[in-house]
């Protein structure tokens, strides 16, 4: 989950994110995950459709910076109409929610 610094950033700069539960849901049950770009991948972006009630047609994007292989920190969370073209797709949902 986000640290207090990034939670403050999310609440002030991305008010469309209604509560932290949206972040948790996007990470635990994403529609797909894209790896950050570069030689050493240190981040992933988790995308999930329809988690924000006012923006059901938009994706929630949660950026996680990896500190260790299975330990990361949420850097930001926002809504977007389409995913950023960064690195390779790491995971994609093949079954309906």
Q: What is the pLDDT of residue 93?
A: 85
Q: Note whether residue 16 is domain-resident.
A: yes
Is 17 in contact with 24 (CB distance < 8 Å)? no
Q: Note whether residue 46 is domain-resident.
A: yes
Q: Note whether residue 27 is domain-resident.
A: yes
Q: What is the pLDDT of residue 47?
A: 95
Q: Note whether residue 62 is domain-resident.
A: yes
Q: Note whether residue 97 is domain-resident.
A: no
Q: Note whether residue 48 is domain-resident.
A: yes
Residue 43 belongs to domain spanning? 4-92
Q: What is the pLDDT of residue 1?
A: 53
Instruction: State the DSSP H helix or E strand holding residue 93, giving kind and residue range, or none if neither.
Output: none
Residue stretches of the chain with pLDDT short of 50: none
Q: Note whether residue 53 is domain-resident.
A: yes
What is the total count of domains within the chain?
A: 1
**pTM value?**
0.83
Give the helix ranges, DSSP H, for the chain.
Answer: 4-13, 20-28
Is 5 in contact with 44 (CB distance < 8 Å)? no
Q: Note whether residue 52 is domain-resident.
A: yes
Q: What is the pLDDT of residue 87?
A: 75
CA distance 90 to 12: 30
């Amino acid at each position: 989950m986000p640290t207090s610094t990034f939670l403050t950033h999310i609440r002030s700069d991305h008010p469309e994110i209604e509560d932290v539960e949206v972040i948790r849901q996007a990470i635990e049950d994403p529609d797909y995950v894209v790896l950050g770009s570069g030689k050493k991948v240190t981040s992933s972006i988790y995308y999930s459709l329809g988690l924000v009630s006012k923006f059901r047609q938009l994706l929630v994007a949660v950026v996680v910076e990896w500190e260790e292989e299975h330990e990361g920190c949420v850097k930001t969370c926002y809504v977007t109409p389409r995913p950023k073209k960064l690195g390779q797709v790491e995971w994609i949902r093949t079954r309906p929610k």
